């Protein structure tokens, strides 16, 4: 009888993951045992404390390079860089969520109100001071994202995908106002996400069949085994290519790349705006962190085969995002199509096989995360008696009524357009330059042309805010509380600093751009 050997675990290296998941479990207990009047601040402080504790552990283990838990988790430069990015951006998102959770009796509707059968039950549930279950759901999602960017085998990656996706489906349904739109967005996201997860899991099965059928190789779905099988003499390349295709569908869905982007505008519009900001920043980092690891580590030996296909997806994504952004009349849907176009730009960096391509992509993820969170912070402030005023016609003349916040939003939009002295220009340069060096000029040309198209809807909003007269329907800008103001100022400052002096972060990304194998 063989002796069962347990895998060795480096607890210090996986401490950020353990801290976030432990805080999520504590948050569930807080919901059960802490009085309602104390629950909001307890949950917010617990979530923020967990994020900063996990970030501290990332810094402490900045030089760690290892594979642990039987090869399931890889702790290396990209893992630590992306985990740090997720935690910093998540802290900003938690500030937005914390501010809005106590506004006007609760920005988020309690889950009990969503499922209540009678009107009396709904009114009673809505009377709570915010839906504080948003915090443990958010911390669960953050924990799943930390696993996702460090997963070193496909099954672990699938589990992490579900751990952070399921809370997001619930978070999208918690908008207090326009509740039917919010629940419809959540249902769309859930159903399409379930299909994408099924594609991913089927792809895992095909990759396992490929490694099992490779002569002289052991079967498995850990990245070292897959890499060795791909680099050898494939016994069945059809299984390999089909597996890559199905895995890519699951990952590109999370990245909001065309043609798997159709959920993005509806979900961005229907979800509570702080949750939308959290998804736009942190989910983007997690999705592209997984794409980088899968394409560079597991399937790097097949890059010659999948690069043209993923490149075509990148061009299609840029075109869809840029062209359809021009037709939008809702600011959240405009930012959704902007996110889709940025996914296309990021794919250009993913396909650059050099270390500079990897570091440029990681830099882009951080720069875009700060900018998009700042943009959604401004959106939460433009309000009237019915809540947020997201229709673009309502923003006409906003520069006359609130020049400070209109100026901030103008700066963010110029960063999205890639204007020099903003992080948008620096980040685009960081991914286009390695693509040119890799003889992928066609992707760079597509990126530059679609960036020019995408500048039009941004500048249209700028013109509308500054050159139109404010009307009776022009909303006011709510004076931000301390939490929203902090998140907004951090995002704006980062957007400026990364445009003017990007060298420290670029150097940090370059030093971290090496996978452990």
pLDDT at 221: 83
Contact 280, 261 (CB under 8 A): no
480-497: per-residue pLDDT in tens?
Answer: 778 999 999 999 999 999
115: nearest Cα among 165, 166, 172, 183: 183
pLDDT of residue 303: 81
Q: Is residue 2 part of a domain?
A: no
Predicted pLDDT of residue 517: 75
Phi, psi of 14 (to 5 degrees): -100, 15
Q: What pLDDT is stored for residue 100 in this prediction? A: 63
Q: Cα dihedral sign for 314, 319, 325, 327? A: negative
pLDDT exceeds cutoff 60 at 162: yes
Lowest-confidence region among 2-6, 33-37, 283-287, 474-478 = 2-6
Interval 407-413 mean pLDDT: 96
| Among the ranges given (174-178, 195-199, 422-426), the one the predictor scored with the smallest mean pLDDT | 174-178
Q: Coil, strand or helix: which one is 407? A: helix
- C-alpha–C-alpha distance, residues 314 and 309, integer Å: 9
| Residue 82 falls inside a structural domain | yes
Assess whether pLDDT exceeds 80 at residue 420.
yes
Report the C-alpha gap between 362 and 507 in whole angstroms.
Answer: 11
Alpha carbons 197 and 191: distance in angstroms, whole number: 10
For 49, the token pair is 């404390």
Look at residue 125 and tell me whether its pLDDT is greater than 50.
Answer: no
Total domain count for the chain?
1
Split at pLDDT 50, 70, 90, the class of 126 is very low
User: Which neighbouring-strand residues pair with 330?
Assistant: 391
Q: Is residue 20 part of a domain?
A: yes
Give the residue carrying structure tokens 């992707």.
443
pLDDT above 60: residue 123: no
- State residue 127's pLDDT score: 42
More confident residue, 115 or 51: 51
- For residue 254, being part of any structural domain is answered with yes
How do residues 230-241 score in pLDDT, each as one tens digit? Answer: 887 655 688 899
Q: Can you give the residue range of the structural domain that contains 131?
A: 15-512
Give the per-residue pLDDT at 476.
76
Is the predicted pLDDT of residue 65 greater than 50, yes or no?
yes
Mean pLDDT of 57-68: 92
pLDDT, greater one: 468 or 452: 452
Least confident of 169-178, 217-226, 244-253, 324-333: 217-226
Residue 9 lies in a domain: no
**pLDDT, position 235:** 58
- Mean pLDDT of the residues in the chain: 89
In a domain, 429, yes or no: yes
**CB of 484 closer than 8 Å to CB of 377:** yes
């Amino acid at each position: 009888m063989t002796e069962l050997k347990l895998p060795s675990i480096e607890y210090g290296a996986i401490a950020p993951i353990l801290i976030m998941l432990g805080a999520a479990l504590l948050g569930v207990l807080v919901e059960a045992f802490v009085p309602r009047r104390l629950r909001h601040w307890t949950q917010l402080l617990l979530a923020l404390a967990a994020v900063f504790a996990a970030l501290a552990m990332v810094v402490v283990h900045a030089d760690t390079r290892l594979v642990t838990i039987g090869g399931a988790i890889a702790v290396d430069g990209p893992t630590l860089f992306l985990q740090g990015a997720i935690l910093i951006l998540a802290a900003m998102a938690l500030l937005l969520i914390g501010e809005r959770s106590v506004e006007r009796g609760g920005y988020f509707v309690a889950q009990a109100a969503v499922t209540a059968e009678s009107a009396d039950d709904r009114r009673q549930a809505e009377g709570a001071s915010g839906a504080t279950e948003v915090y443990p759901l958010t911390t669960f999602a953050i924990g799943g994202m930390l696993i996702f960017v460090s997963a070193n085998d496909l099954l672990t990656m699938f589990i992490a995908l579900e751990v952070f996706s399921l809370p997001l489906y619930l978070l999208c349904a918690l908008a207090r106002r326009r509740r039917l739109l919010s629940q419809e967005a959540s249902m769309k996201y859930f159903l399409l996400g379930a299909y994408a997860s099924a594609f991913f899991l089927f792809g895992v099965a095909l990759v396992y069949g490929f490694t099992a059928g490779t002569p002289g190789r052991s079967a498995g779905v850990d990245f070292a085994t897959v890499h060795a099988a791909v680099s050898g003499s494939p016994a069945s390349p059809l299984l390999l290519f089909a597996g890559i295709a199905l895995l890519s569908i699951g990952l590109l869905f999370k990245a909001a790349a065309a043609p798997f982007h159709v959920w993005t505008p509806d979900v961005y519009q229907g979800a509570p705006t702080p949750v939308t900001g959290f998804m736009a920043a942190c989910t983007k980092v997690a999705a592209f962190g997984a794409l980088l690891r899968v394409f560079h580590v597991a399937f790097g030996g097949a890059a010659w085969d999948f690069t043209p296909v993923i490149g075509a997806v990148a061009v299609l994504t840029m075109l869809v995002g840029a062209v359809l952004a021009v037709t939008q009349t809702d600011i959240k849907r405009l930012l959704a199509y902007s996110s889709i176009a940025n996914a296309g730009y990021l794919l250009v960096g993913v396909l650059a096989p050099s270390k500079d391509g990897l570091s440029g992509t990681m830099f882009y993820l951080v720069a875009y995360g700060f900018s998009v969170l700042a943009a959604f912070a401004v959106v939460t402030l433009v309000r009237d008696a019915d809540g947020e005023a997201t229709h673009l016609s309502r923003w006409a003349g906003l520069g006359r009524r609130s020049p400070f916040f209109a100026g901030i939003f103008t700066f963010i939009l110029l960063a999205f357009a890639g204007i020099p002295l903003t992080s948008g220009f620096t980040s685009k340069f960081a991914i286009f330059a390695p693509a040119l060096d890799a003889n992928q000029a066609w992707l760079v040309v597509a990126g530059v042309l679609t960036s020019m198209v995408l500048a039009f809807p941004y500048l249209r909003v700028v013109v509308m805010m500054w050159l139109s007269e404010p009307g009776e329907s022009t909303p006011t800008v709510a004076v931000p509380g301390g939490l929203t103001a902090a998140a907004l100022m951090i995002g704006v400052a980062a957007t400026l600093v990364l445009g003017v002096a990007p060298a420290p972060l670029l150097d940090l990304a370059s030093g971290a751009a090496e996978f452990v194998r």
